Structure formats: C-alpha cells, structure tokens
C-alpha cells in the first residue's frame, strides 16, 4: 500500500488537500457558506469541460471558472439573496458545462473522475502546483484571519470596526475558489465539499475555541482522507464514497458527543434541553 | 410558409414527437417548480432545494443499479433526504445550512459508489451524464403520467398547508403564537419540495431542476410583493423559458453546418438567468430615481441601500451567510 509510487503520490496530495480543506472548511462552516462551497467546485467542473474542449490545461479551466463563480456569487449576492444567486450561478455554470460536453467526445470515465476524483492517478509533476496553491490558500487565510473571524462571528461588530463585510466575503470566496482549483483534479468536484463540511462541523461540535477547532478540523480531515484512500485501495471502491461516508460519520459522532456532554453537564428540565436541540 | 416563420420555427418543430414530450414534461415541471419555488425562495431554502436534486440523483443511480423504477429511486431517496435534513436541524438558519451540507455530502458519496458499481457491472453508457445533467429530449413518454401525478401530489400538499405555510414563512413567531404547528408545516413543505424536486430531476435533470425551482420564483419575487401574483408570474416565466429553450435547442441543430445541437438545458438556464438579471432592473431604476430626488444622502448610499435590501419584501430575511 505504501510501496508503489502512485500510492506515495496519493498519500502526499491527500495530505495537502486535507489540510487545506480542514482550514478553509472551518470558515465555511462558521460562516454558513456551505452552498457556495458546494457550488464553486461543482460549477468549476464546467471549466474543466471547457478546457478539454479547447485543448488547454484542465487547471486553467478550473481556475477561471471557479474564480468567475466566486466573483459572480459575491457581486450578485450584494443585491439579491445569497442562496438564490448561488443557485443561479451554479446552474448557469453547469449549463455551460453541459453545452461544452455536448461538443466534445470526452470519454465517460474522464468526466466521472473529474466529478468524483481520481486520487490514485496523481502524477508526480502535479504535486508541486498543488502544494503551492495549498500554501497560498493557507497564507491567504492567515492574512485575513482576524477580520475574517470577526465578520464570520459578529458581522455587525466587524462592520462597526470598519471591516467591509463585502470585501471579506469576496476574499473568502476567492480562497474557496483557489482551494477548489487545486483539489478538483484530485478528489473531484463533488467530494471536496464533503471534506470541507464534515470534519469542520465535527470539530466545531467538539470545541468552541477557534484555533483548537481548526486544528481538530485538520486532524479529522486528515484521518478521513487517509482512511478513505486505504479503504479504497483495499476494497477497490471509489475514494469519494468513503470520504462522504466518513464525513457524515464524523459529524454524527461530533453531534452525539456534544449532546452527551450537554446532558451530563446540566440535567436541566426537559423543556430546556428540547429547545436546545431544536 | 412565411420566411420569418420558418426562420423562427425550423422545419418539423411542431411535428416532432420529441418536442411534444419535451413541451408537456417541461411545462408540467416548470409550473410545479415555480409554485414550490416561491416558498423555497421566501424561506431561504435554495440550498436545500438544490441539494435535494443531488440526493434524488443518488436515488436514481441506486435504482439504475438494482433495476428499480427510476421514479421510485428519485422520489424515494429525495423524500428520505428531506426527512433527514428536517431531523438534523433544517429549521435554524445556520444549522439548516450544515444539515443540508451533511446530507448532500453523504448523497454525493453514495452517487459515486452507485455509479461506479453500475459502470463496472454493465454497459450503461451515458449513465453519468444522464444522471448529472439529464435531458428532456431523451425522456420517454411513459414517464409523463408518473410526473403528472407526482406534480399534483406536490401542488396539492402545498395548497393544503398554503396559509399556515405562508404565515410560518413570513414570521415563524407569529405563526407559533397563533397556534400554527410550525414544525409540522415545515416538514410537510420539505416533503412537497422533495417530491417536486425528485420529479423534476427525473424529468429534466438536476441542473434544470434547480434552475426552474429558483430562477423564476426569485425573479417574480423581485417584481412583486404579493405572493399570489409572484406565483403567477413565476409560473409564466418558467413556462415561457422552457418553451423558448426547447425551441432554441431545436433550432440550434440547424445553426452552422456541423449539425451539433446545443443541449436544451443550456438554453433554458440561459433564458432564466437573463430573466433574473433583468428582474433587478425596475428596482435599480427606482433606486437611481430616489437617489436623484433625495440629494445629499445622510448616510453613505451603499450601506443605506443594502440595509433597505435586507428588509425588503417577500420575507427577505437575509441569507444564510
């Protein structure tokens, strides 16, 4: 499992992807941006289809489309409702993808791997760009850390302190777009989402301290990715299935743990705990 | 025939049985989606509405794998997904976002597995594309009765809980004080949404399902404050966009010399997207006139506008973000 070269590549890229997903995902969950975090990678898939139509590098297509998606969601979301414009931006990008695909004679497994990932097929030459983009994501989060945290938790206070919510939103969406571009070829357009939601959500229900939660989120994401690869290697089922299942499982465990701790901490009247759970 | 007429309607448009099926299916789906969509947009559950299309696609791929009827797969798993979303906390705004995400992530994982097993076990070319994008032009006429019945079920359940649903959408607190079972009404609405989305992803594919659910309703709610007229306008936009999209897709076959038509979903989504953008124009025009009238504004115009936008009509309670 560790000897073959392609497996080493898989372990390395999965580690990078999991760290980025853990950190970026923490803010996705904190800000309640699960929908953009789903829409940008899925829409970016259309960019990959366009790139294969034009015969250029897939990464360029992914990058352009995820950036367009992020800016479109950010700027349209100023006027209209956020979830509405996210949905519309997503379907517009997917419709373009359908148009591109109707023009290519792309082999079906390639589409499948773009959507669901092909982590076992990562080349050694692809690791460096992925690592650089991952570093850029982490660096960007570190730079905007304080305003981002403030505007995620208490948007009104952040606004009063002179943090432009709109600018932070755009910056954050661009980081999501960057994370998308690097991860889609590896884990696929659909599964980066699972990795950005499940582990951070679990971490947040385990602790409320931000830095600790972020570290936990990275750890859970790493375990999820590693176990998924190992299981996929052993059972020959798609990596994506294991990532999705483990993400949901870790969230369930986190929720269960939080509920157990609550009932233990204060055996409050039933009404109060019922309201808490609602 | 008049040259302009043949330029708009390429030869054989009205005779083609595919066009008939597409028009009937598209029309039914557009109306059901538009009515459900008005509530979806007002309740801020676009993410849920979209996620359910992916969840029901997982059901579709499961049905494909074990040889079940696709209707059962799409609608069955969609309903199950909606119930789980409601269970883990679809009611609170933040928790709802997360619950939807978790269910969606699991469903995507399952889709990956089912599609993998399907593509390795048998020769089902086009399965991936069919499930992800779908196409009206390839739907068989046999699904029309099922789609129509399910559409009636979805519309019927929304009509049954219509008033309490509206009240608990606009103000859950007032509704609860008046004795409306907000939780139950919300659950019934979610199940109706699941049926509606399930049938639309089966009939027209996941992309169009979300587009027809959100686009016409969002555009209508930007044009009017009244719910009844919003529903009417949304239905109109949905049906016109579908018809126009089918026509353009049919015509696109004759554009250029390559005879490679563009997919119908592309045209329908494009029409809807443009309509949504255009629906913002009246409000933008009114804003521009107000700005001229109320010279020097007391507050910086940007904040003033966004404040107003957040408290605007149609239950604009801010987004999940």
A29, A79, A191 ranked by CB distance to B108: nearest: A191
Substitution target in A42, A78, A88, A172 with the highest count of B β-carbons within 10 Å is: A88
Domains and CATH numbers, chain B: 16-279 (1.10.3470.10)
Average pLDDT over residues A80-109: 81
Please give the angle made by the CA atoms of B135, B140 and B146, to the nearest 5 degrees. 100
Chain A residue numbers touching B263 (CB-CB < 8 A): 95, 98-99, 102
Task: Give the other-Cβ count within 10 Å of A177's Cβ.
Answer: 26
CB contact under 8 A, B98 and A38: no
A31, A87, A102 ranked by CB distance to B321: nearest: A31
CA A231 to chain centre: 21
Chain A residue numbers touching B106 (CB-CB < 8 A): 194, 244-245, 247-248
CA distance B1 to chain A (A): 32
CA distance A144 to A47: 28
Task: Give the other-Cβ count within 10 Å of A278's Cβ.
Answer: 10
CA distance B34 to B237: 8
Average pLDDT over residues A109-114: 69
Chain B residue numbers touching A188 (CB-CB < 8 A): 112
B33, containing H or E segment = helix B17-42
CA distance A215 to A198: 14
In this prediction, residue A108 carries a pLDDT of 62
DSSP type of residue B12: T
Q: How confident is the model at residue A260 (pLDDT cuts 50, 70, 90)?
A: confident
Does A53 reach chain B within 8 Å, measured CB to CB?
no
- So what's the ipTM on this one? 0.84
> Is the pLDDT higher at A19 or at B308?
A19
Q: Which two tokens stand for residue B8?
A: 């708009």
In this prediction, residue B235 carries a pLDDT of 95
**Spatial contact of B61 and B116, defined as CB atoms under 8 Å apart:** no
Whole-structure pTM value: 0.83
Chain A residue numbers touching B210 (CB-CB < 8 A): 87, 90-91
The residues in B 301-320 lying below 8 A from A, measured between CB atoms, are 306, 309, 316, 319-320
Does A136 reach chain B within 8 Å, measured CB to CB?
no
- Residue corresponding to tokens 């594309």: B129
CA distance A95 to chain B (A): 4
CB contact under 8 A, B98 and A33: no
| Segment A78-92, tens digit of pLDDT | 777 788 999 999 999
Q: Is the pLDDT of residue A222 over 90?
A: yes
In this prediction, residue B306 carries a pLDDT of 45
In this prediction, residue B247 carries a pLDDT of 86
| Segment A163-190, tens digit of pLDDT | 787 888 899 999 999 988 888 877 777 7
Average pLDDT over residues A19-36: 90
Buried b (16+ CB within 10 A) or exposed e, B43-71: bbbbbbbbbbbbbbbbbbbbbbbeeeebb
CB contact under 8 A, B108 and A193: yes
CB contact under 8 A, A197 and B115: no
CB contact under 8 A, A84 and B89: no
In this prediction, residue A174 carries a pLDDT of 92
For residue A27, what are the domain limits?
5-277
- CA dihedral (B239, B31, B108, A148) in degrees, to 10, reads 80
Give residues with Cβ within 8 angstroms of A115, minimum separation 6: A45, A188, A189, A190, B128, B132
CB contact under 8 A, A87 and B49: yes
In this prediction, residue B213 carries a pLDDT of 93
CB contact under 8 A, A115 and B128: yes
Does B288 reach chain A within 8 Å, measured CB to CB?
no
CA distance A134 to A130: 6
**Spatial contact of B37 and B227, defined as CB atoms under 8 Å apart:** no
Per-residue pLDDT of chain B (321 residues; tens, 9 = 90+): 566 566 666 666 666 777 777 777 888 889 999 999 999 999 888 898 999 988 988 888 888 788 877 788 888 899 999 988 888 764 565 677 888 888 888 888 888 888 888 776 554 555 566 656 655 555 666 677 888 888 899 999 999 888 888 888 888 888 888 888 888 888 899 999 999 998 888 777 778 889 999 999 999 999 998 989 999 999 999 999 988 988 888 787 777 656 667 778 888 899 999 999 999 888 888 888 887 776 555 555 444 444 444 444 444 444 443
Give residues with Cβ within 8 angstroms of A117, minimum separation 6: A186, A187, A188, A191, A238, A239, A240
CA distance B115 to B128: 7
Chain B residue numbers touching A192 (CB-CB < 8 A): none
Does B129 reach chain A within 8 Å, measured CB to CB?
yes
The residues in A 95-134 lying below 8 A from B, measured between CB atoms, are 95-96, 98-99, 101-103, 108-109, 111-112, 115-116
- Residue corresponding to tokens 């696709």: B70
Task: Give the other-Cβ count within 10 Å of A1's Cβ.
Answer: 10
Average pLDDT over residues A234-242: 83
> Is the pLDDT higher at B237 or at A102?
B237
Number of domains into which chain A is organized: 1
Q: How confident is the model at residue A102 (pLDDT cuts 50, 70, 90)?
A: confident
Provide the number of CB pairs (under 8 Å) joining chain A to chain B.
196
In this prediction, residue A153 carries a pLDDT of 83
In this prediction, residue B304 carries a pLDDT of 43
Query: What CATH number is attached to the domain comprising A12?
Result: 1.10.3470.10
Chain A residue numbers touching B108 (CB-CB < 8 A): 190-191, 193-194, 240, 244
CB contact under 8 A, A92 and B273: yes
**Spatial contact of A231 and A237, defined as CB atoms under 8 Å apart:** yes
Q: Which two tokens stand for residue B135?
A: 């196409």
Burial class (CB in 10 A: 0-12, 13-18, 19+), B104: buried
In this prediction, residue A41 carries a pLDDT of 87
- Cα separations in angstroms, A128 against A16, A132, A185, A278: 11, 6, 14, 46
In this prediction, residue A270 carries a pLDDT of 52
Chain B residue numbers touching A35 (CB-CB < 8 A): 46-47, 50, 97, 100, 320
CB contact under 8 A, B102 and A201: yes
Does A164 reach chain B within 8 Å, measured CB to CB?
no
The residues in A 219-238 lying below 8 A from B, measured between CB atoms, are 237-238
By C-alpha distance, the chain B residue nearest A164 is B303
Give residues with Cβ within 8 angstroms of B158, minimum separation 6: B35, B36, B39, B165, B189, B192
In this prediction, residue A25 carries a pLDDT of 92
In this prediction, residue A255 carries a pLDDT of 83
CA distance A149 to B171: 30
């Amino acid at each position: 499992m560790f000897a073959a070269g392609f497996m080493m590549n898989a372990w390395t890229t999965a580690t990078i992807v999991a760290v980025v997903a853990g950190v970026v995902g923490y803010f996705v969950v904190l800000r309640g941006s699960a929908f953009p975090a789903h829409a940008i990678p899925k829409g970016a898939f259309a960019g990959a289809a366009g790139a294969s139509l034009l015969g250029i590098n897939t990464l360029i297509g992914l990058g352009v489309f995820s950036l367009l998606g992020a800016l479109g969601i950010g700027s349209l979301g100023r006027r209209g409702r956020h979830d509405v414009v996210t949905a519309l931006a997503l379907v517009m990008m997917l419709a373009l993808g359908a148009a591109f695909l109707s023009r290519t004679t792309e082999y079906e497994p390639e589409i499948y791997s773009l959507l669901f990932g092909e982590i076992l097929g990562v080349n050694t030459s692809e690791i460096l760009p992925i690592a650089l983009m991952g570093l850029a994501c982490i660096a960007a989060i570190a730079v905007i850390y304080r305003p981002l945290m403030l505007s995620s938790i208490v948007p009104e206070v952040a606004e009063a302190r002179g943090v432009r919510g709109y600018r932070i939103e755009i910056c954050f969406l661009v980081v999501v777009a960057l994370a998308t571009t690097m991860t889609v070829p590896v884990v696929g357009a659909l599964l980066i989402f699972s990795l950005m939601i499940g582990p951070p959500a679990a971490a947040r229900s385990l602790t409320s301290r931000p830095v600790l939660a972020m570290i936990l989120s990275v750890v859970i994401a790493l375990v999820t990715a590693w176990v998924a690869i190992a299981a996929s290697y052993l059972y020959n089922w798609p990596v994506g299935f294991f990532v999705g299942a483990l993400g949901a499982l870790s969230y369930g465990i986190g929720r269960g743990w939080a509920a157990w701790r609550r009932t233990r901490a204060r055996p409050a009247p039933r009404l109060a705990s019922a309201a808490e759970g609602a | 025939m008049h040259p302009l007429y043949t330029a708009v309607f390429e030869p054989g448009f009205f005779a083609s049985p595919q066009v008939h099926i597409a028009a009937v299916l598209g029309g039914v789906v557009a109306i059901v989606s538009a009515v459900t969509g008005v509530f979806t947009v007002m309740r801020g559950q676009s993410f849920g509405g979209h996620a359910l299309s992916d969840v029901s696609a997982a059901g579709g791929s499961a049905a494909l794998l074990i040889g079940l009827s696709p209707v059962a797969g799409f609608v069955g798993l969609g309903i199950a997904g909606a119930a789980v979303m409601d269970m883990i906390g679809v009611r609170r705004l933040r928790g709802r976002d997360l619950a939807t995400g978790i269910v969606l992530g699991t469903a995507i994982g399952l889709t990956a597995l089912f599609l993998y097993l399907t593509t390795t076990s048998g020769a089902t070319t086009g399965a991936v594309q069919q499930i992800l994008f779908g196409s009206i032009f390839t739907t068989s006429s046999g699904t029309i009765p099922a789609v129509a019945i399910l559409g009636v079920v979805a519309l019927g359940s929304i009509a049954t809980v219509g008033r309490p649903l509206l009240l608990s959408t606009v103000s859950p607190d007032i509704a609860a004080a008046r004795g409306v079972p907000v939780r139950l009404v919300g659950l019934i609405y979610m199940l109706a949404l699941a049926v509606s989305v399930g049938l639309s992803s089966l009939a027209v594919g996941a992309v169009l399902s979300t587009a027809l659910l959100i686009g016409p309703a969002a555009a209508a709610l930007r044009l009017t404050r009244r719910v009844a007229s919003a529903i009417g306008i949304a239905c109109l936009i949905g049906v016109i966009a579908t018809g126009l999209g089918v026509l353009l897709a049919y015509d696109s076959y004759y554009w250029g010399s390559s005879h490679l038509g563009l997919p119908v979903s592309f045209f329908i989504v494009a029409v809807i997207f443009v309509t949504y953008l255009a629906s913002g124009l009246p409000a933008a025009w009114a804003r521009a006139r107000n700005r001229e009238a109320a010279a020097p504004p007391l507050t910086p115009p940007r904040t003033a506008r966004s404040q107003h936008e957040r408290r605007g009509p149609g239950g604009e309670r801010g987004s999940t973000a």
